[in-house]
């Protein structure tokens, strides 16, 4: 028989994890959940019991501790979408599609939280729900990108959803830094959004601690949610293969 050039191999769900890791996985997951829960409870304690009221804005300023961390976690989510999408297009392994899908869902959730918490803060402070200023507009567009990913996942051509969503994931992730950069070129849009970190505005050590714990907690929560959603996605893939 003439030797044949290999054209394509099939790819299914990822092979089972090495035995030792697989056995200790439930304990590791439980530990991760407990750690994140502890961080969040500590954050809640700091925000509602420990930190003093901000002098100018009052109680509504406390949103800051959830808002900033969620915003950073959103950027982590779009990173997960980009990595998952590129890896899926390169290897066609479903686990990467699941990571991309999880990143997009969690990103949509977190960006909605950022927008809502921002609006709740903006109403008493700026007397408006929304203002056309760089950070808010770039976050609105980030939210719309996550929404676009969710829409394609929901309504796309059924057999091609994983690779189509991977393509859109790459396009969307590349758009994010472009949007952030281009918005900042607009000189006539005033920078209304508080530049707290850049201007070293956190004077009280408790403020700094609450901000740090808030950021770490939200980012860890994001990773945990992406991980759990990826596991659910993989179970769904396995179920389909067994049918």
Does position 4 interact with other proteins (CB under 8 A)? The reply is: yes
Based on CB atoms, which residue is closest to other proteins, 7 or 49? Answer: 7
Each residue 79-118 as x (binds other proteins by CB under 8 A) or -, in order, gives ----------x--x--------------------------
Based on CB atoms, which residue is closest to other proteins, 83 or 147? Answer: 147
Beta bridge partners, 54, equal: 58
First to last CA, the chain: 36
CB of 157 to other proteins, least distance (A): 3
The helix/strand/coil state of 190 is: coil
Q: Which of residues 168-187 bind other proteins (CB under 8 A)?
A: 168, 170-172, 174-175, 178-179, 181-183, 185-186
Does position 14 interact with other proteins (CB under 8 A)? The reply is: no
Task: Tell me the torsion sign for CA atoms 35, 104, 241, 10.
Answer: negative
For residues 191 and 182, give the distance between their C-alpha atoms in angstroms, rounded to a whole number: 14
Based on CB atoms, which residue is closest to other proteins, 38 or 232? Answer: 232
Buried b (16+ CB within 10 A) or exposed e, 70-80: bbbbbbbbbeb
Residue 54 phi, psi (nearest 5): -75, 145
Residue indicated by tokens 């990822």: 14
Which positions touch other proteins (CB under 8 A)? 1-2, 4-12, 89, 92, 141, 144-145, 147-148, 151-152, 155-160, 163-164, 166-168, 170-172, 174-175, 178-179, 181-183, 185-186, 240-241, 243
């Amino acid at each position: 028989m003439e030797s044949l050039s290999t054209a394509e191999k099939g790819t299914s769900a990822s092979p089972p994890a090495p035995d030792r890791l697989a056995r200790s996985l439930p304990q590791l997951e439980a530990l991760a959940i407990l750690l994140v829960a502890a961080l969040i409870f500590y954050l809640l304690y700091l925000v509602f019991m420990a930190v003093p009221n901000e002098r100018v804005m009052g109680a509504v300023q406390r949103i800051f501790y959830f808002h900033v961390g969620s915003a950073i976690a959103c950027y982590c989510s779009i990173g997960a979408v980009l990595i998952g999408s590129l890896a899926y297009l390169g290897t066609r392994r479903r686990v990467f599609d699941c990571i991309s899908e999880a990143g997009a869902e969690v990103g949509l959730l977190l960006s909605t939280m950022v927008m809502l918490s921002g609006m709740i803060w903006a109403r008493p402070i700026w007397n408006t729900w929304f203002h056309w200023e760089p950070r808010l507009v770039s976050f609105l567009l980030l939210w719309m990108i996550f929404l676009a990913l969710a829409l394609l996942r929901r309504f796309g051509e059924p057999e091609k959803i994983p690779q189509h969503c991977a393509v859109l994931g790459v396009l969307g992730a590349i758009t994010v830094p472009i949007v952030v950069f281009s918005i900042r070129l607009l000189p006539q849009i005033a920078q209304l959004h508080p530049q707290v970190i850049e201007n070293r505005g956190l004077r009280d050590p408790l403020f700094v601690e609450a901000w740090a714990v808030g950021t770490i907690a939200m980012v860890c929560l994001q990773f945990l949610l992406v991980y759990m959603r990826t596991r659910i996605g993989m179970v769904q893939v396995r179920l389909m293969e067994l049918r």
